[in-house]
A and B are shown apart, each in its own frame.
Chain A
């Protein structure tokens, strides 16, 4: 009904990255990001290698470049912050095109921008190559408590239902002459939020009844279907090892 909501960010194509089990991808992502973050900002060549890895990942996963670029806009607030740094940071100044900038500020901005961008693109690859359900089973495989997995799974399932409720309430409000303009109408919105909370709470109770009726005893059944093979773990580990070598080399050799 409310198309889009709850679909997650999954891009349905078949690729080696898509076929990798979610738990492997999750571990690889975290490992990769840790390596990137621990690399000194002045080791410029290292970030070139990381960027190469990430671009290769995007290509292996057969993700459309336009989609990846569009999703990178979540990074915007950090970009704004990074661009401010050279102007506000203290310390020795350099002249760039006649504008006086802080040296440490420029390096700081580079640091935030490059690490943020690499992390965001790597996360985009994960989210676009893994369906929400697979992500949940991956987390379950990584021994995240079942209760937390269940909470996440309910959230994914009911986001579209609740946003549908919200949508209908908004239409009902506007159909009766609400224009959303003046501050006086805030009361209507607040009441709407309260009603939505009550509705969602009641739905929660009905869902619980439905779970009891099908023999729920307080323990969610496992959703995981297969374990990752050793070969798949090796593939994921390969990425982390390469990143780790680059990070170590950057520390030892420097920029």
Chain B
């Protein structure tokens, strides 16, 4: 029996200034699942995902209790590097994620930190760029790319590490409709466990069968995306709103794809 990709038990966390961000979060995500993490601003979504690869939390020397297990193993200082390979985090602003002089160098940064070099490294970089359709832009400087292209390269930088779990922080934000659709096509084609923070509810419905709804540092709902979005009382209680005239019951979701 395969172990869950992510398993979190009673995770609590307060920032050094005393602001409590997580109040006992528990959930598990099985291998191959695609899950959307929904919730209003300030709900603790980003704080939560920063725990998944040990950037925040007790393993990073911070204050926090609870347990985070990735593919069945606890987070420990000793194998932090391994956890960071398994959990690929794509940040919201691609300018934060792309810091090397060229696209190729940036995609190579992660695997090079894993100790790859030479032909093996080039192969890894090429594979990741092909996965997001950016192989023709390898030698371009990141600031010469469009925003949508930079977002795709940001995904490639993480894919190059061959993660078990891909975690995206608002992947569709600031994208024009065509880039948003192209990114959806790319994400649909990937064979990884996916956890995606988003305010873009139709995007969540399109890509993720299951959703977690977070508010005030707690998971307040966990279930089928369509059911959650169709629950008007739940939605309004947590400041979530569907786009004008969008009916989650009348559009196809991932189950039909």
* Chain B interface extent, by class: 20 to 34
- Contact present for B114 and A215 (CB under 8 Å): yes
A223 CA to B102 CA in the complex, in Å?
A: 10
B residues less than 8 Å from A217 (CB atoms): 81, 113
Q: Which residues of A contact B53 (CB under 8 A)?
A: 213
Q: How far is the CB of A141 from chain B (nearest CB, A)?
A: 15
- A interface, how many residues as a size bin? 20 to 34
- Is B21 among interface residues, defined by CB-CB distance under 8 A? no
Q: Flag if B85 contacts A133 (CB, 8 Å).
A: no
A104 on interface, CB distance cutoff 8 Å: no
Render A207-243 as a binary contact track against B, CB cut-off 8 A, 1 for contact: 1011111111100011100000000000000000000
CB distance from B156 to the nearest CB of A (A): 12
Write out the residue numbers on chain A whose beta carbons fall within 8 Å of the beta carbon of B85. Answer: 215
With A133-B102, A153-B100, A214-B84 already in contact, the answer to whether A221 and B109 are too (CB < 8 A) is yes
B61-69, B87-95, B172-180: which lies at the interface: B87-95
18 extra A-B contacts, CB within 8 A, seeds A153-B101, A157-B143, A223-B105? A132-B101, A133-B102, A133-B141, A157-B98, A157-B99, A157-B100, A158-B95, A158-B99, A203-B96, A207-B99, A209-B55, A209-B96, A211-B109, A212-B84, A213-B84, A214-B110, A214-B113, A214-B158
Task: Pick 12 A–B contacts, CB within 8 A, sort by A.
Answer: A6-B141, A133-B102, A157-B142, A158-B99, A160-B143, A203-B96, A209-B50, A209-B55, A212-B55, A213-B91, A215-B81, A222-B112
Residues of B within 8 A of A (CB): 50, 53, 55, 81, 84-85, 88-89, 91, 93, 95-102, 105, 108-110, 112-114, 141-143, 157-158, 161
